[in-house]
Amino acid sequence: MTIKEVEEVTKLPRSNIRFYEREGLVVPERNVSNGYREYSETDVDNIRKIAYLRTLGIPLETIRELMDGNQSLYRAVKSQAKRLDEQMEDLENARRLCDAMLQDKEIRFSNLDVEHYVPDLQEQWKDNRIICQTDCAGFLYLWGGLAMWCVLFVASMIAALLSYRHLPPEIPIQWSHGAASSLAGRYVIFLYTAACIIIRYVLRPFIWRWLYTHTVYSDSLADYITNSLCFVAVSVEIFTLLYVHGAAKHITVVLFADIIVLAAVFLEGHFRRNKNCANSDCS
Same domain, 180 and 265: yes
Same domain, 161 and 218: yes
Same domain, 159 and 267: yes
- pLDDT tens-place string over residues 171-203: 988 877 667 788 899 999 999 999 999 999 999
Share of the chain above pLDDT 90, in %: 35
Same domain, 77 and 192: no
Residue 10: partners with Cβ closer than 8 Å, 6 or more residues away: 17, 44, 47, 48, 51
Same domain, 143 and 274: yes
Same domain, 98 and 227: no
Q: What is the CATH number of the domain that holds 27?
A: 1.10.1660.10
Within-domain flag for 145: yes
CA distance 3 to 25: 15
If pLDDT is split at 50, 70 and 90, which confidence band does 268 have? low
Within-domain flag for 30: yes
| Domain interval for residue 209 | 138-280
Same domain, 258 and 272: yes
The amino acid sitting at 178 is G
If pLDDT is split at 50, 70 and 90, which confidence band does 140 have? low
Nearest CA among 281, 269, 276, 168 for reference residue 227: 269
Find out whether 242 and 248 touch, Cβ atoms under 8 Å.
yes
Structural domains of the chain, count? 3
Same domain, 78 and 188: no
DSSP state of 250: -
Q: What is the pTM of this model?
A: 0.53
Looking at residues 110-116, what average pLDDT do you find? 85
Within-domain flag for 130: no
Same domain, 91 and 55: no
Nearest CA among 184, 222, 178 for reference residue 203: 222
Same domain, 62 and 88: no
